[in-house]
Amino acid sequence: MGPDESDLKAAEELKFKANAAFKEKNYEEALVEYTKAIQLAPTSAIFFANRAFTHIRLESCGSAVADATRAIELDPKYVKGYYRRADANFALGKFKLAFKDFRMAAKYAPSDPDLRKKLAETERVVKRLRFEEAIASEEEVPAAETLDLSTLKIEADYDGPEMEGTEADGYRVTLPFVEALLEHFKAQKGLHRRFACQILLSARSILKSLPSLVDIPLEDSQQFTVCGDVHGQFYDLLNIFKINGLPSESNPYLFNGDFVDRGSFSVEIILTLLAFKCLYPDHVHLARGNHESRHMNQVYGFEGEVKHKFNGTVMDLFRELFCWLPLAHVINKRVIVVHGGLFARDGVTLDDIRKVDRNRQPPDDGLMCELLWSDPQPSKGRSPNKRGVGVAFGPDVTRAFLELNKLDLLVRSHEAKPDGYEVEHNGDCVTVFSAPNYCDQMGNKGAFIRFTGADMIPQFTTFEAVPHPDVKAMAYASSMFGSSLLGV
């Protein structure tokens, strides 16, 4: 039996409340109300498509695909079902699946101009992927090994910061250069491509020498700071440095991935952090996040930003460097820090992580994928991750992993939290997120964690967003997808 008239009326009222919450960007509230409506009217394709869009805004693209698929099952000609599933798959970097669904949507709504644009854009991306696959070979020489820095001449009228050294003898990063770089970027001025490439090549050399899991020893009295996602929010990074001090040998940092994308000052963020890595290689640590990858950069703005501020060759250098970022860090043999989370199987050891071959684009499954994409869940055991990638792991999984590897705490990032951090799994798992008012719309605080070597107890500092120049989040993302994927 289907819903009766009173259920349908109540479901429509709930949909109205959900729509209003969605427009106010109260996505969690909208999700609750759409779910209530679905419970009353489980055969409504519209309700499932609307909830799918809400899941996209909440970064739950796996759940969005499931809801959109259900909408299509209920109504095989429902355009928004295909539209939402295509958006979710595009957000996950599954461009071929997105193209298939946009093509189906266009079949039923051939005159929709926005849909036609998205179809054309996705087709262009798919063709580029096929071309790249066709020309790829094991003998392909990295851009870092073919770039001739001597061809990048510094013009006489360049007035930005300059690295110490000469063209003949080479350039190196110094503290005065980094301090000048921060002020230059703060004034919205660009770094010369010659120096940007030098930073990238020097940092790549350092990162390439590191294992996939880096051990960080601390003295008992030593302080250590862990920051979560900063996502191109350069002025908020400056605020972290104002609150907590610049990185130095006496003030070490670990930045736990997702330096780029979404925020439109990603170039400034990543060049700053890489410059500090060159300056203090043993005291500034950088981990890979799920956004340090080709597909994410194509969707969420970093590739567009790099090509706008530099060129495609510089993007190639970034892409190669990201593949050498470590996947995990263990601080003082007690706290493990990874970007996403834990694994789809029991028994994973620190040595297993050390053995991961990270010099590649992230795969769709396995340890590397899970380190970058997984999320904690409140219930025991494991479940499919709402993102559609990685796994959702429970408190028993976290405790078993920590006990097996003789660790005290798991620190991860990957999720915006209202207070900038959250303690879960009976205190065994901490999420830290350092991009306040994420994407200029979420209203969350940012946070960072301070540890002291003697006790390794996390101490949290929270902070609000600071003003930034009027360049909106996702400004360099694809013009066809920036608005619909904002916040994903």
Q: 483 pLDDT band (50/70/90 cuts)?
A: very low
pLDDT for 484 beyond 80: no
Sign of CA pseudo-dihedral 126, 131, 133, 138 = negative
Q: 4 pLDDT band (50/70/90 cuts)?
A: confident
Distance CA 337, CA 325 (A): 13
Distance CA 113, CA 109 (A): 9
Question: Tell me: the pLDDT tens digits for 303-356?
Answer: 999 999 999 999 999 999 999 999 999 999 999 999 999 999 999 999 999 999
Sign of CA pseudo-dihedral 349, 355, 360, 363 = negative
Domain boundaries, the chain: 5-135, 209-463
Q: Which one of 3.40.50.720, 1.10.3720.10, 1.10.540.10, 1.25.40.10 gives the CATH number of domain 5-135?
A: 1.25.40.10
Distance CA 202, CA 192 (A): 16
The yes or no reply on domain 209-463 and CATH 3.30.70.260 is no
Look at residues 261, 258, 266, 257 and name the one whose alpha carbon lies nearest to residue 299.
261
Contact 368, 309 (CB under 8 A): no
pLDDT for 487 beyond 70: no
Average pLDDT over residues 378-400: 97
Distance CA 165, CA 159 (A): 17
Report the catalytic residues: 291
Three-state SS for 429?
strand
The encoded tokens of residue 460 equal 């949290």
Q: Which of 142-146, 235-239, 372-376, 445-449 has the lowest mean pLDDT?
A: 142-146
Question: Tell me: the pLDDT tens digits for 129-157?
Answer: 888 777 765 557 899 999 999 899 999 99
Identify the DSSP state of 291.
T
Question: Tell me: the pLDDT tens digits for 46-75?
Answer: 999 999 999 999 989 999 999 999 999 999
Return the bridge partners of 329, or none.
214, 337
H/E stretch holding 255 reads: strand 253-255
Residue 80, phi then psi, degrees to nearest 5: -65, -25
Q: Give the per-residue pLDDT at 1.
A: 59
pLDDT for 485 beyond 80: no
pLDDT for 464 beyond 80: yes
pLDDT for 22 beyond 60: yes
